[in-house]
Amino acid sequence: MTFSAAVCVELLKALSPEAQAIVTSDARRLLVIAGAGAGKTEAMARRIAWWHARDGIPKDQIVAFTFTEQAAEEMKFRIRKYIQVVETPGTDPSLGGMYVGTIHGFCLETLRKLWPDEYHNDDVVDDVARYSLVQEGYTYLLGLEALEKALQAESGKPYSSRGRTIEYFLQAYDLLNEYDRLDVELPSEPRPDIGAEQEWCKQARLLTETGEGAVTEAFARSAARYYAYLRCRHFLDFSTAQSELTRRLRADDAALARLRTSITHLVVDEVQDINPVQDGIRRMLVDDQDGWLTAVGDHRQAIYGWRGGRIDIMADLAAELTADEDGDVLDLTRNYRSTPRIIDISNRWNATINVPGTMSSPDMSHGRVGRVDADAQHIGVVDFNGDRADEAEWIAATVKELVPSHSLGAVHDTPDGERGITYSDVAVLVRSSTDARTYLQALRDAGIPAVVKAGPDLFAQPEILLFAAALSLSGGRDTFMGADWNKRSLPSRLRDVLGITDADRPGAAERAIRAAFNTLAGEGLTIAPGSADRVIRAARGMEARLAGIPVNRADIAVLSTPELRKWLSGRDPVRRVFPQTMLQWLMSEAGVSAWDTQHDRAVAAMYHLGQLSSLVTGIETPGWTRAKSYRHQITSLLLWGTESARPQEAPLLATPDAVTVTTIHSVKGLQYAAVFVADVCSSRFPSKNAKQAPKLPFRDPLAQVIDPTSLADNANNDDERRLMYVAITRAERFLYVSASKPSKFFKELKGIVKDAGSHVWDSTGSVPQAIPSLRPIASERSREDRLITSFSDLRYYLECPHDFYLRKVLGFTPTIDQAFGYGRGVHNLMRAVHTDPARWAELAADPVALRQAVQELIDRGLFYLRHTTGEPAENMRRRGVEIVTDYVQTYVDELRRLTFEPEREFEVLVPGEDVLVSGAIDVVRLDSPPQVTIIDFKSGERETDKHDALDEDEMKLQVSLYAVAARQELEYEPERGLVRYLGERDPSRRELNVPLDQQTIDDSLATVKTLAGGIQRRQFRSGPHKPDKNGGHRCITCDWSRICGLSRNSSTA
């Protein structure tokens, strides 16, 4: 690699002078204030390549923090593009050990790297999983009833629900972590096994001084126990993962020194939304004395203050770097996203927002030459004078004009020409998801496909309410409690969507199921006769079976799902429940497979049900679900889902070709050709609750640090104004703001839009019947043809494209198997062996000592089985000891002579394609570096290993991709691959040799390109291409046999 004039030209080509100054800046610590659509990711990727090329910074010494995984994927692609520019021609453009991802992901990775025995088995639980954990331990383990009573006494009235207490507790607990104040003393005894946690957790003590008072003291006890419960179950949640790392580093100077030495250059994206603990991590890596920092953000887009994000951190950093001779603050002001008029409106709106500290807030300028305004009426503000239904209908009609069909759309510019926009180019944005259904329904009534992203309003969809009611009934609840005034409560959802006005009266769940089927039939979904009766009988049967009550044979006989009939006919007590299986049985009885079609409403229904399936996985994640716990877990799901669910990041691929209806918060970082900012009404936007400071259980001096008023909006509603700025700047070409009861924001925007030369329509009658200057042409999806995947994902597509669609596009999740964790446990043991091979080779001669050493690894927690207890768990651990003992004795000579690199994670960029494949090589055997052997373990005998579904060609594909990774990322020259079947008793079948000649690798890369092409072209309407490993039809044993529409027709399946 040489830094030539030509390389310099390539890195700076087509950049504005501002961007060039950012890429080439010699400031050791740099803050970039980057406006919306200004190309900050492009500038950061080129700056990283500049560091690598000009300054010779090794790639593995650079870390880049992004706000989301989606942003990380985009950053990775761009960095690779410019690494390719600066590297010697022919060199693979690898990231070479560079970390690009979220801060919490970095924290977990670093904890595992620095203290592997303690954290390698730990997982980060999502919001619904931890809600389920808290719900399960609410009374006895966590002691939250005491907090509930203390809150009730303090307020002088009943604290309305357990759900509100959980929300109060988790908000306060997260703030302790986000402000890096959580400090818990755990018991000195080792962490107990599953089922024995209660007394151990009760001994935990919160050392943080939270203050005095009944509420404060009850919270402190519960917070300590919750942290202990997480550690006991080998979990971390998002906030704890970050503070866990800072606590460990503060207590371990040597570990901190090793980390700081390994990381010299840091990029922090979206710095306006980081919280104190994240800023602390940044300062641990790069401070005012050492290291290089580039922080990027936009104070105008700071919208997560209510979640702990502190805009003042960015303001303080700006002041610090302005005064530092090694620091600098630069602006990035050219907007390449929007038309000139949209940019003008956003600049005018920005002028209404107070600027924190001494930061600059310059106007954005137009940066994309071809993106010009075609007509002034492509941007407008519409007042519907109190009629929200008219507003929703007008939005639907306007979308219909913009996108007349799946094949035609209004013309829009592209870098190399023009295209017609699609439904997925359109977004309807609202301040709160509570009221999104009005707009969703209007779109559907107009025949326009539309979906909502995961979040509270997912539970305003009739198909979701159908299965929410069925799951509730299966758990023994046929009524629903909640405040009528709370539009997010389940009773309010049932009333507004299904017309159920007596949700608190017995039989409400059955009435909801019948009403949902009627609603869905009216919306065009196929509903088989008797579906409601079958779902109700199935749910009632599940309730009885879990309670140990025999199920009526006549009720079982009418059900259509064989596995469900068999389970309901059982008489033995139910030891374990699989919620995902229960959901799939209910979906089977409902006839969901008939919805697995290409009909717009059916696609949306399946997309929403896939999100529900993903949420159900959250309540399964904590571990073993006992029969008596199932009811509480379903309650957790419904409480959290209806009230607190946050929109998830996009799935692997784009959503179906449908209009997105969602909240403004959920589209941060995204853009759409056409944006409708709806419901800008009084009390809604700005929110009437925005200025209310939350009640917290902290007293001085902690309350001066975690100040509730800092979590609320100010007198000017600056937080809400920033949210409007984000909404406006999502639009590329078409922007409409509407209201039925105008708020002060709407009134201000009327003047701004008028002054910018666009239109203000003060009544429904004044709105034009047709938008002028629209030229429909053939539509084309705007998504770039990039694919971020893994070998496992590709394998699903290779075996059955429709399996991939249900699993990876829609989000359906299979049941967590009882043996889940066994393979990981075996791999953990193998990692320990290959980390210190010489020691294990010495132990091989003494079988007793060898088995004892393996058992010690298990006792240290390396074989943690979250989903298995009792005798099955002991059998698995015993088998683990046998497997590792046999392996060490079989390969003792290899372990004595050679060294290894276990569990090398990688990302392979397929040459000539925008396809990124990630994975992990089990072991790289260093034969004679750079010559190496790739070893992949299968934790079972050849005939019983679930992975044996891989035939020889598929095995070559997998190991060949590993070989490409070894070349690109690790800079090795793999000579061959070995698949080792751990525990295989037949010596002749222990290994499968995989040749790694160039032809094999080329053939494998060609296969990946073919698979990627099929995924990118959305070719999912075909079934399995091969029989299963026993020669039978794959559909019979498929995870989705109960819901797959293709399996209804054997000719296509």
Summarize pLDDT for 693-710 with one digit per residue, the tens: 999 999 989 999 999 988
Please report the sign of the dihedral spanned by the C-alpha atoms of residue 261, residue 263, residue 265, residue 271: negative
CB 430 within 8 A of CB 788: no
Secondary structure letter of residue 78 according to DSSP: H
Q: What is the mean pLDDT of residues 634-652?
A: 67
Q: Is the pLDDT of residue 853 over 90?
A: yes
CB 835 within 8 A of CB 902: yes
Specify the higher pLDDT residue, 75 or 954.
75
The pLDDT value given to residue 789: 79
CB 28 within 8 A of CB 51: no
Q: Is the pLDDT of residue 647 over 60?
A: no
The pLDDT value given to residue 950: 67
Calpha distance 723→685 (Å, rounded): 9
* Backbone phi and psi for residue 704, each to the nearest 5 degrees, phi listed first: -80, -25
DSSP letters for 256-298? HHHHHHH--EEEESSGGG--HHHHHHHHHHS-SSSSEEEEEE-
The pLDDT value given to residue 782: 60
Calpha distance 305→273 (Å, rounded): 7
Please tell me whether 610 is known to bind a ligand.
no
Nearest to 976 by CA among 1044, 927, 943, 1015: 927
Summarize pLDDT for 488-497 with one digit per residue, the tens: 788 988 998 9
The pLDDT value given to residue 744: 95
pLDDT level of residue 1050 (50, 70, 90 thresholds): very low
Please tell me whether 34 is known to bind a ligand.
yes
Q: Is the pLDDT of residue 592 over 80?
A: yes
Specify the higher pLDDT residue, 106 or 768.
106
Calpha distance 252→259 (Å, rounded): 11
CB 480 within 8 A of CB 451: no
CB 430 within 8 A of CB 572: no
Calpha distance 330→321 (Å, rounded): 10
CB 999 within 8 A of CB 125: no
pLDDT level of residue 651 (50, 70, 90 thresholds): very low
Q: Is the pLDDT of residue 910 over 60?
A: yes
Nearest to 336 by CA among 35, 77, 665: 35
Q: 3-class secondary structure for 793-810?
A: HHHHHHHCHHHHHHHHHC
| Max Cα distance, the chain (Å) | 91
Summarize pLDDT for 966-1008 with one digit per residue, the tens: 887 778 899 899 999 888 888 888 888 988 988 888 888 888 8
Q: Is the pLDDT of residue 455 over 90?
A: no
Nearest to 733 by CA among 410, 385, 258: 410
Q: C-alpha dihedral over 527, 528, 529, 533, to 10 degrees?
A: -80
Please tell me whether 37 is known to bind a ligand.
yes
Which residue type does 811 have? G
The pLDDT value given to residue 9: 86
Classify residue 1010 by burial, with Cβ atoms within 10 Å: 0-12, 13-18, 19+: exposed
Secondary structure letter of residue 1051 according to DSSP: T
Please report the sign of the dihedral spanned by the C-alpha atoms of residue 341, residue 343, residue 349, residue 352: negative
Q: Is the pLDDT of residue 167 over 50?
A: yes
Q: Is the pLDDT of residue 13 over 50?
A: yes
The Cβ of residue 693 has, within 10 Å, a number of other Cβ atoms equal to 12
Nearest to 282 by CA among 236, 314, 323: 314
Instruction: Enter the tokens of residue 284.
Output: 């641990």
Please tell me whether 912 is known to bind a ligand.
no
Classify residue 520 by burial, with Cβ atoms within 10 Å: 0-12, 13-18, 19+: buried
Q: No. of H helices and E strands in the chain?
A: 40, 28
Nearest to 120 by CA among 130, 108, 128: 108
Q: What is the mean pLDDT of residues 115-137?
A: 86
Q: What is the mean pLDDT of residues 147-161?
A: 81
SS3 assignment, position 603? helix
Cis omega before residue 158 (within 30°)?
no
Q: What is the mean pLDDT of residues 1021-1042?
A: 80
Q: Is the pLDDT of residue 784 over 70?
A: no
CB 245 within 8 A of CB 115: no
Q: What is the mean pLDDT of residues 274-292?
A: 92
DSSP letters for 871-902? HHHHHHHHHHHHHHHHHHHHTHHHHHH-EEEE
Summarize pLDDT for 308-343 with one digit per residue, the tens: 789 999 999 999 999 999 999 999 999 999 999 999
CB 418 within 8 A of CB 733: no
* Backbone phi and psi for residue 217, each to the nearest 5 degrees, phi listed first: -70, -35
CB 269 within 8 A of CB 64: yes
pLDDT level of residue 172 (50, 70, 90 thresholds): very high
Q: Is the pLDDT of residue 170 over 60?
A: yes
pLDDT-wise least confident of 146-160, 293-307, 895-909: 146-160
The pLDDT value given to residue 179: 95
Instruction: Enter the tokens of residue 555.
Output: 């009720």
Q: Is the pLDDT of residue 919 over 80?
A: yes
Could you tell me what percent of the chain has a pLDDT over 70? 94
Q: Is the pLDDT of residue 1049 over 50?
A: no
Calpha distance 176→73 (Å, rounded): 30
Calpha distance 714→709 (Å, rounded): 9
- Which string of b and e fits 495-513 if b means at least 16 CB within 10 Å? bebbebeebeeeebbbbbb
Which uninterrupted H or E stretch holds 738?
A: strand 731-739
Q: What is the mean pLDDT of residues 620-630?
A: 79
The pLDDT value given to residue 686: 92
pLDDT level of residue 158 (50, 70, 90 thresholds): low
Nearest to 366 by CA among 337, 403, 345, 395: 337
Q: Is the pLDDT of residue 665 over 50?
A: yes
pLDDT level of residue 159 (50, 70, 90 thresholds): low
The pLDDT value given to residue 771: 85
Classify residue 699 by burial, with Cβ atoms within 10 Å: 0-12, 13-18, 19+: middle
Nearest to 267 by CA among 46, 1, 3: 46
SS3 assignment, position 63? strand
- pTM score above 0.75: yes
Question: In residues, how long is the chain?
Answer: 1053
Summarize pLDDT for 503-529 with one digit per residue, the tens: 889 999 999 999 999 999 999 999 999
pLDDT level of residue 632 (50, 70, 90 thresholds): confident
Q: Is the pLDDT of residue 28 over 90?
A: yes
**Residue 924 Cα to chain centre, angstroms:** 30
pLDDT-wise least confident of 66-70, 347-351, 623-627: 623-627
DSSP letters for 92-147? ----TT-EEEEHHHHHHHHHHHHSHHHHTT-EEE-HHHHHHHHHHTTTTTS-HHHH
Instruction: Enter the tokens of residue 945.
Output: 């290993």
Summarize pLDDT for 544-570 with one digit per residue, the tens: 999 999 999 999 999 999 999 999 999
Q: What is the mean pLDDT of residues 454-467?
A: 83
Summarize pLDDT for 937-955 with one digit per residue, the tens: 987 543 333 434 567 777 7
The pLDDT value given to residue 808: 87
Instruction: Enter the tokens of residue 962.
Output: 């590993």
The pLDDT value given to residue 1053: 35
pLDDT level of residue 18 (50, 70, 90 thresholds): very high
Q: Is the pLDDT of residue 916 over 50?
A: yes
Q: Is the pLDDT of residue 816 over 70?
A: yes
The pLDDT value given to residue 94: 78
CB 940 within 8 A of CB 959: no
Which residue type does 190 have? P
Which residue type does 592 have? V
Secondary structure letter of residue 572 according to DSSP: S
Please tell me whether 693 is known to bind a ligand.
no
Q: Which residues on neighbouring strands pair with residue 789, listed in sequence order?
A: 917
The mean predicted confidence, pLDDT, of the chain is 88
Please tell me whether 899 is known to bind a ligand.
no
Q: Is the pLDDT of residue 646 over 90?
A: no
